[in-house]
Chain A
Amino acid sequence: MTFKRHIGQLPIIPPDAKEHNVVCQFCIVGCGYHAYTWDINEQGATAPSQNKFGVDLAKQQEAMTPNWYAPAMYNIVKQDGKDVNVVIKPDPACSVNSGLGSIRGARMAEMSYSEARSTQQQRLTEPMIWRYGQMQPTSWDDALDLVARVTAAVVADQGEDALFVSAFDHGGAGGGYENTWGTGKLYFGAMKIKNIRIHNRPAYNSEVHATRDMGVGELNNCYEDAELADTIVAIGTNALETQTNYFLNHWIPNLRGASVDKKEKLMPDEPHAAARIIIVDPRRTVTVNACEVEAGKENVLHLALNSGADLALFNALFTYIADKGWVQKDFIEKSTLRTAANRPPLYPARGDSPAMPGHLTSFEGAVEGCRTSIEDAAKITGLSPNDIVKAAEWIAMPKEGGKRRRVMFGYEKGLIWGNDNYRTNGALVNIALATGNVGQLGGGVVRLGGHQEGYVRPDYPGPRPAPYVDQLLIDGKGAVHHIWGCDHYKTTLNADQFKQAYKRRTDKVKDAMSAVSYGDRKATVDAIVAAIKAGGLFAVDVDLVPTKIGQACHVWLPAATSGEMNLTSMNGERRLRLTERYMDPPGQAMADCLIAARLANNLERVFREMGKTDLADKFKGFDWKTEEDAFMDGYHKHAKGGEFVTYDRLRAMGTNGVQEPATGFQDGKIVGTKRLYTNGVFSTEDGKARFMDAPWRGFEAPGKEEESKKFAFLINNGRANRVWQSAYLDQQEELVMNRWPYPFIQMNPEDMKDLGVSAGDLVEVFNDNGATQAMAYPTPSARRKQTFMLFAFPTGVQGNVVSPGVNELIIPNYKQSWANIRKLASAPGAARATSFKSWEFSA
């Protein structure tokens, strides 16, 4: 049966309800919301004077009304220890979303911890510890003492390289400037931890080293640019599902022609029309469909290229555009490096070094190095030569009157988790630089983003390329593992192998702990240290909920999330906002920054007890009492422009906040930066952007070429609209699990017929790396032998079949995975309750 709440009415927000600024805690877009809270025993009424909206709620409200909220936007939560009603609804005055709420963000209230309404009862409420053969609640003092003693013993004995860390580096839930600073100061300030990895990849690296090396920070435009562009180029992004309200509120108006007036006003000296869009994606997505619906098929060019062939496409476009002379000579002259360095000796197979897998050069050097004919690109990509030429024309052919075409290039995981990340990223930025589309209205070459950002930390002390942490753990390296908001079991590559090794190693420590009396602290620590010496691993998991990797851990520490703490983040146009605390964290849960501080305090104490004063002294400076203390110590002191930013000032800036970097404080407002690089000065030492000589070299990650030949199906993978990240909250949400009890795998119906698989059947996806399961979803628009599986889902982990192959910079290559498929079972009960119709809207 389809899930229904059987809710026919909701409490009405009274006029005196408290209003808190909230930014959606999930995706990069960061939609503005308000949380309204009021006493549990009070409610407003329909008369205008008796509700927050000042309107007659006894009347039906119109479409897009701000005067309504869905049941998913309501809950009962604790605030200062008392039950209160809460409504979290989108803010019509926020320029990001203009009142729109996605199926993820508009469920924030329902996805909050509520004792009264039994929502998110999975949340961790107390520290938990492995005791007498199972996880048991304990006090913060006890848990932190054990973690500090084991960590200190290992660091004192083996050095800091024996402490492995997995830590989020993002904004929004489980992140934010407060918490990245808290963990960053602990691991990169007090200690110098090299063996650390990020939530979605097995090393500490950028997802976009190339654009940064070229001097172009990856979030360089503003959302308004999508309204101003002549052409939008979307690469490896399914923006309707993964940057939903950015797409709906800023791309669609341009595709409909609704922003032409704005274009004419802001850019009066050139012709304007509704935008066209080029979408580079092997899969036909709902984004492609929506663009066709709004702009007409003739204005949508879907380049459904062979998986992983983007680099060849970009090089052909760059070559064609350069040969036509459709480039911005003045910009190239003034703002880019004009002298080409010699190619490194092993080029093109190898870059300048493993740290530099490409070759930075001048425009002319790049044109020579990247030269690719339309015909060669057509062969590699499987695209028609005409479509490649058409794309080049849509990007760079001058407009009527010889005016430059304004183009915004947006890319995400299809490129980032794709073949030859470094050079592909570089080749795309080449096109944007050559056509002068950085720092201009309607331009930008930008990551579209996953999470919001919230990064301020001391510099990473490790090398580039960074250590391949997950592989080192498999290989038996590391003694203690601190995990912050990461779940490798769901979100790593080679996940089957990782889980097997990780369980073996952590079980050794569990068995050792079970063999001594827990109350004897010295005996417990000695037993753990001895098990570590025998190849064991002591694992500490800081998270909101019990995770899959948590099953292997020895200590769980309960963290607070956005809204349970004050939390700052910035979105994909660098828009910084403060989400105000509107509810209590569950039980004894604490903000990560404060957990980090208390861990630092305990490490200092233990090192002092051990007589290691020099080590103990490194942990000074963690006397924070609140997340605001961490913000002032971190962002305010260390972020660019941070000196202008305080909580009070951000609170006054509401859900529109300020775009980073802040440059001043005037008339009671923080002054920000709408677009980067408007002055043509880039983020390099000499201020000149670089082009990249980035020739095609086939499947770059080891083993991918062989895998593509050996197995029948491409297992493309990624996100779905309804699910946030690894479903860590959604796994307890009936609206989600009723629809996706298992991860879907979209398959061509003919392929399903060949395999004897029907809609909803569970299939096994298997290759030499491992195996996983998924629910077959017949998808006529899917190309033969090309599937798409939901990534990082708890009831079927796609990462099990992703090979360990990474690029030189240890960037995983999730997208290019191939496997065989066989039927496991006919549709189980949960799958029989789901619909298997097309996702595509038709008017």
Chain B
Amino acid sequence: MEERTSRCDRKVEIGRRKFLSGAGIAAAGAAAASVVPQRSKAAPQLARVAYPSNRLANIQQLKSNEPLAVAYPDDNAPGVLIKLGTRVPGGVGPDGDIVGFTTVCPHKGFPLSYNVSDKTLNCPGHYSRFDCENGGQQIWGQATANLPQYQLRIDAKGDIYAEGIDELLYGRLSNVLEG
């Protein structure tokens, strides 16, 4: 379990810093802005979150079993793309082995790190582990959800797009934030 490459660490670390810097800014300024309770208005709403289709990377950027730090559906939502090297459920690409996951633990929001030796994402907060080869199944841990996974599409140029997420991301009550 000690064979993680430092490069991977750095990539995930970038995502982690991005996440932490974007988070936790208490919205005191915004507090003054709104006074009218929205619940008194009738507003038509979509039944499902409308996810953006975002290009995350090109297939050429992926190397087998090396996580690439990405963010989806916005810059404050860090994640990874991984070319696992073996075909898996939900995998895309010519080998059916490319997957994408959030790297924010759905238990308490700590940043996950990738373990290349068994292809899992691991949480230093409370020791939860998620299986990247099995739809982000929580192998062991405290989260009440398996790991949110990206719905991916690859176009003819090899560009990898994320177009949806299958569970609620930690720290937001809508996967797609307003504004």
**A residues within 8 Å of B by Cβ?**
1-10, 12, 14, 42-50, 54-65, 68-73, 100-103, 106-107, 110, 240, 244, 248, 286, 289-290, 293, 721, 735, 738-739, 833-835, 837-843
Structural contact, B144 and A9, CB atoms closer than 8 A? no
Interface class of chain B by DSSP: loop
Out of A8, A49, A101, which one reaches B176, CB within 8 Å?
A8
Asked if B174 lies at the interface with its beta carbon under 8 angstroms from chain A, I say: yes
B9 CB, nearest partner CB in chain A, Å = 11
B152 close to chain A: CB less than 8 A: no
Does residue B146 face the partner (Cβ distance < 8 Å to A)?
yes
Q: B124 to chain A: closest CB distance in Å?
A: 6
> Of the 9-residue stretches B53-61, B62-70, B128-136, which lies at the interface with chain A?
B128-136
User: Which residues from 3 to 54 on chain B have a C-beta closer than 8 Å to any C-beta of chain A?
Assistant: 19-20, 22-28, 30-31, 33-35, 37-39, 48-49, 51
Q: Which residue of A lies closest to B173 (CB)?
A: A10
Q: Is the CB of A841 within 8 A of B23?
A: no
Asked if B91 CB lies within 8 Å of chain A CBs, one says no
In the assembled complex, B77 has its CB within 8 A of some CB on chain A? yes
Q: Other than the known A6-B167, A63-B171, A842-B1, what 9 A-B pairs have Cβ atoms closer than 8 Å? A: A4-B166, A14-B39, A49-B37, A54-B31, A58-B179, A60-B177, A63-B23, A244-B142, A841-B122
* Contact (A63, B142) CB under 8 Å given A55-B27, A71-B167: no
- Does B157 sit at the interface, judged by CB under 8 A? no
Chain B window 125-169, contacts with chain A (Cβ cutoff 8 Å), 1 for yes, 0 for no:
111110101111111111111100100000000000000111110
Given contacts A56-B31, A58-B178, A60-B77, contact A6 B172 (CB under 8 A): no
Establish whether residues B129 and A9, one from each chain, have CB atoms under 8 Å apart when the complex forms.
Answer: no
A-B contact pairs, 29 of them (CB 8 A): A1-B89, A2-B135, A2-B146, A6-B167, A8-B49, A9-B174, A10-B168, A10-B173, A44-B38, A45-B37, A54-B31, A56-B27, A57-B172, A57-B173, A58-B27, A62-B20, A62-B171, A63-B125, A63-B171, A64-B108, A73-B144, A100-B142, A102-B142, A248-B126, A738-B137, A739-B138, A834-B137, A840-B140, A842-B122
B115 at the interface (CB under 8 A from A): yes
Chain B, residues 97-132, CB within 8 Å of chain A (1/0): the string is 000000000111111010100101011111111010
In the complex, how many angstroms separate the beta carbon of A66 from the nearest chain B beta carbon? 11
The reply to whether A843 and B124 form a contact with Cβ atoms under 8 Å apart is yes
Q: Is the CB of B137 within 8 A of A70?
A: no
State the CA gap A567–B146 with chains docked (Å): 32
CA distance A409 to B19 in the complex (A): 40
Residue of B nearest to A10 (CB): B173
Best-surrounded residue of B25, B134, B142 (most CB of chain A within 10 A): B142
Q: Are B168 and A839 in contact (CB under 8 A)?
A: no
- On whether the beta carbons of B172 and A2 are closer than 8 Å, the reply is no
Contact between A61 and B109, CB atoms less than 8 A apart:
yes
Which single member of A44, A61, A63, A73 contacts B172 (CB below 8 Å)? Answer: A61
Which chain B residues have a beta carbon within 8 Å of chain A's beta carbons?
A: 1-2, 19-20, 22-28, 30-31, 33-35, 37-39, 48-49, 51, 76-77, 89, 106-111, 113, 115, 118, 120, 122-129, 131, 133-146, 149, 164-168, 170-179
Interface contact B1-A107, CB-CB below 8 Å: no
Chain A residues within an 8 Å CB radius of B168: 5, 7-10, 70-71
Tell me how far the C-beta of B134 lies from the nearest C-beta in chain A, rounded to whole angstroms.
5
In contact, B124 and A837 (Cβ under 8 angstroms): no
Say whether, besides A60-B77, A841-B122, A843-B124, A8 and B174 are in contact (CB < 8 Å): yes
Closest-by-CB residue of B relative to A38 is: B39
* Partner among B27, B135, B173, B174 whose Cβ is within 8 Å of the Cβ of A48: B27
What total count of A-B pairs have CB within 8 Å?
215
Residue of A nearest to B179 (CB): A58
Chain B nearest CB, measured from A293 CB (Å): 7
Instruction: Check if A45 sits within 8 Å of B137, measured CB to CB.
Output: no
Contact present for B30 and A48 (CB under 8 Å): yes
Name the B residues within 8 Å of A110 (CB-CB). Answer: 144
B143, B144, B164 — which one has the most chain A CB atoms within 10 A of its CB?
B144
Residue among A65, A73, A244 with the highest chain B CB neighbour number at 10 A: A65
A837–B171 contact, CB under 8 A?
no
- Provide the bound-state CA to CA distance between A46 and B30, in Å: 10
In the complex, the answer to whether B145 meets A48 with C-beta atoms within 8 Å is: no
Q: Is the CB of B134 within 8 A of A835?
A: yes
Using known A-B contacts A72-B144, A286-B127, determine if residue A8 contacts B136 with beta carbons closer than 8 Å.
Answer: no
Bound form: Cα–Cα A289–B77 in Å: 30
Q: Which residue of A lies closest to B144 (CB)?
A: A72
Contact of A293 among B127, B142, B165, B170 (CB under 8 A): B127
Known: A1-B89, A68-B171, A835-B134. A58 touches B177 (CB 8 A): yes
A101 touches B49 (CB 8 A): no
Contact A841 B127 (CB under 8 A): yes
Q: A43-B39, A46-B178 are in contact. Are A8 and B140 (CB under 8 A)?
A: no
Q: How far is the CB of B153 from chain A (nearest CB, A)?
A: 17
Residue of A whose beta carbon sits closest to that of B2: A842
Residue of A nearest to B1 (CB): A842
Q: Tell me if A61 and B175 are in contact (CB < 8 A).
A: no
B27 touches A2 (CB 8 A): no
Whether A49 and B144, one on each chain, are in contact in the complex, defined by CB atoms closer than 8 angstroms, is: no
Distance (whole angstroms) from the CB of A732 to the closest CB of chain B? 15
Q: Which residues of A lie under 8 Å from residue B125 when comparing CB positions? A: 63
